[in-house]
Structure 1
Amino acid sequence: MADVTLSGVSKTFGADTALSDVSMTVPDGSFVVLLGPTGAGKTTTLRMVSGLDKPDSGTVKIGDRDMAGLTPAQRDVAMVFQQYSLYPHLTVRQNLEFPLKSPILKTPQAAIDVKVGEVAEILQISHKLDNKATALSGGEMQRVSIGRALVRNPAVYLMDEPLSSLDAKLRSDLRIELKNIQANSGATLLYVTHDQIEAMTMATHVGVLDNGKLVQFGTPREIYENPVSVYAASRLGQPRINVLPAESFGGAPNGAVNIGLRPEQIIQGEGEDSTVSRVERLGDQTRLHLIFKGHDIVTVTDAHTRLTGGDIVKIRPRNPHYFDADGARVA
């Protein structure tokens, strides 16, 4: 395995800037998630590392080796993209075996059989091994696509929203399995998603991208608890962080324009009046939708609360975040 280092990487497509001076180190053996909305630069970053696209400026290294001029095949990376790419005339077993039968790897057939069996079981496709790829559902095809990467032992795994086409239960199961595989193998994995739950549950590190710029890089907990901006704060956390005018509760520091409150930063039972607009019961927790000084906010309360629409709840902030007019964090 190896670390991945991007230094000052920029990329434009015509008049559009996809990446702007991105510098980042994916530590050896880490699970790094690139997080951001469509157009933030996540997939372009992945393509820079894979060699499918070349940076206009800057360098990409895997280990100590500069990747300039190397093809994807020469970079020892395994890729899984959102659009699954299988050989339709081959069976599932043959698709999974294919990477291991390359002239470079020369894997013995006995070892191939063991590895394919292990991966098929993890991905819950053992019963489909002799089916043609064309006979699979979309979700099954994506699992085979993931399996084609997992059977290998590359320097780096690159994955672009590989779970997006799966149903909720399987997506949840595979989040756990992918994290276990990465942790147990010590693999270096760079993973692209817009799903903050995937980022929070799987990542050792998160890179938050905004319009081609890396705005924050750290552990999920660091970014959740110490966001550098409103934008970074909004990328992690469910329900999303509440953003109100800084003077809503008083005592705002100089330069603060907005106050940001995570659900757990809203203390109920004391402070100023708010009105319950909706109670959203989710089983293990209940979300409380409040109207406070004309603003809608969401917090969490006891799962068995008796509160109902129209009730008055007193609230106050605890250890809130403050942001300036540009959205940057104010100390």
Structure 2
Amino acid sequence: MAEVSLSHVSKGFGATQALLDVTLTIPDGAFVVLLGPTGAGKTTTLRLIAGLERPDGGDIVIDGESVVNDTPAQRDVAMVFQQYSLYPHLSVRDNLAFPLRSPVINMPEPEITRRVQAVAEALRIGHKLDNKATALSGGEMQRVSIGRALVRQPRIYLMDEPLSSLDAKLRADLRVELKRIHAELGATFLYVTHDQIEAMTMATHVGVLDQGRLVQFGTPRQIYEDPVSSYVASRLGQPRITLLPAGSFGHGAPAGAVQMGLRPEHILIGEGQPATVRRVERLGDQTRLHLAFGPHEIVTLADPHTLLGTGDTIAICPQNPLWFDAGGNRI
């Protein structure tokens, strides 16, 4: 495994600036998640590290050496795509072994057998090795796709939204599997997603991208509790943070504050100003209250066994909210 660093990297496609002066260090052995909406520059970052694109400016360093002029094969990285990209006529065993039989690696067959078996067992598909790829479920195919990267044992694993095409249960299962595999391998992962749940549950570090710029980098807890802007605050947290005018609850806003940000834990129920329950979402382990507060909607959490219902009025007040100025910057 290796540390990967981007230094002042920029990349444009015609009139579109995909990345702008991005400086980022992916520590050796870290699980870094790049988070942002479509068009933020996440996939472009992966493709630049993989060597599928060349930066317009800046440097990319892997294990202490610049790789800007290296081919993808010379960089020794492995990439997992959103789509499965398997060879349908080959068995699971041969799909997993395929990269190890390439002229670049040319691994001896006994070692290929050992490594394929180990990865298949880690991904819980050891019993599927002799099946054709076309005979697998969607979740199994994506496990094979991930396994084809794992057998390589490269310097860094690059993953481009590999779980986004799976159903909710499979996504949850594979999130656990990927985190377990990362811990066992001590590998370096760079994982791209727009799914904040994946970022919060898997990452050791999160990088938030906004229109090609890296606007914050830190642990999931740091990004959640101490966001630099309302944009970053909106990227993590479920339910999403509620942004209200700074004076919504009267006095108390610091100088320069235009907006206040309320996460569920920032809202005290039982005192303060009136809000009306518009909808109650019972999710088993938690209950979400959708509240009408004047012209605004606030989503907060209540006791799972609450007796509150649609139309009820409750009192709410903020506790340690986040404050933002006119430009969305944190105060």
TM over 0.5, yes or no?
Answer: yes
Number of the residue aligned with 2:112: 112
1:112 to partner: Cα distance? 2.4
Number of the residue aligned with 1:242: 242
1:248 aligns to what SS in structure 2? coil
Q: Conserved in 1, the CA contact under 8 Å of 2:288 and 2:299? A: yes
Task: Give aligned-pair identity as a percent.
Answer: 71
The size of the alignment, in residue pairs, is 330
Number of the residue aligned with 1:219: 219
Q: Conserved in 1, the CA contact under 8 Å of 2:41 and 2:209? A: yes
Q: Identify unmatched segments of 5+ residues in structure 2.
A: none
2:247 aligns to what SS in structure 1? helix
2:101 is equivalent to residue 101 of structure 1: yes
Please give the per-residue CA displacement for 1:120-178, whole angstroms capped at 9, x wherever unaligned.
23333333322223344444332211110011211100000111122222211111111
| RMSD, matched Cα | 1.4
Number of the residue aligned with 1:194: 194
1:152 aligns to what SS in structure 2? coil
* Partner Cα separation in structure 1 for residue 319 and residue 115 of structure 2: 51
Letter in 2 for 1:191: Y
* Partner Cα separation in structure 2 for residue 134 and residue 179 of structure 1: 27
Q: Conserved in 2, the CA contact under 8 Å of 1:142 and 1:165? A: no
* Partner Cα separation in structure 1 for residue 302 and residue 121 of structure 2: 40
Please give the per-residue CA displacement for 1:302-324, whole angstroms capped at 9, x wherever unaligned.
00000111111111111110011
1:260-299 mapped onto 2 (5 Å cutoff): 260-299=261-300
1:63-102 mapped onto 2 (5 Å cutoff): 63-102=63-102
1:106 to partner: Cα distance? 4.1
1:204 to partner: Cα distance? 0.4
Query: Which shifted more, 287-296 or 104-113?
Result: 104-113
- The two structures have a TM-score, normalised by structure 2, of 0.96
Q: Conserved in 2, the CA contact under 8 Å of 1:89 and 1:132? A: yes
2:178 aligns to what SS in structure 1? helix
* Partner Cα separation in structure 1 for residue 115 and residue 200 of structure 2: 29
2:38 is equivalent to residue 38 of structure 1: yes
1:84 to partner: Cα distance? 2.4
Number of the residue aligned with 1:22: 22
Letter in 1 for 2:270: G
2:322 is equivalent to residue 321 of structure 1: yes
2:5 is equivalent to residue 5 of structure 1: yes
Number of the residue aligned with 1:206: 206
1:87 to partner: Cα distance? 2.3
Number of the residue aligned with 2:256: 255
Letter in 2 for 1:166: L
Please give the per-residue CA displacement for 1:153-209, whole angstroms capped at 9, x wherever unaligned.
111000001111222222111111111111221111100001100000000000001
1:231 to partner: Cα distance? 0.6
* Partner Cα separation in structure 2 for residue 311 and residue 198 of structure 1: 35
* Partner Cα separation in structure 2 for residue 32 and residue 170 of structure 1: 21
Q: Identify unmatched segments of 5+ residues in structure 1.
A: none
* Partner Cα separation in structure 2 for residue 210 and residue 191 of structure 1: 16
1:104 to partner: Cα distance? 4.2
2:260 aligns to what SS in structure 1? strand
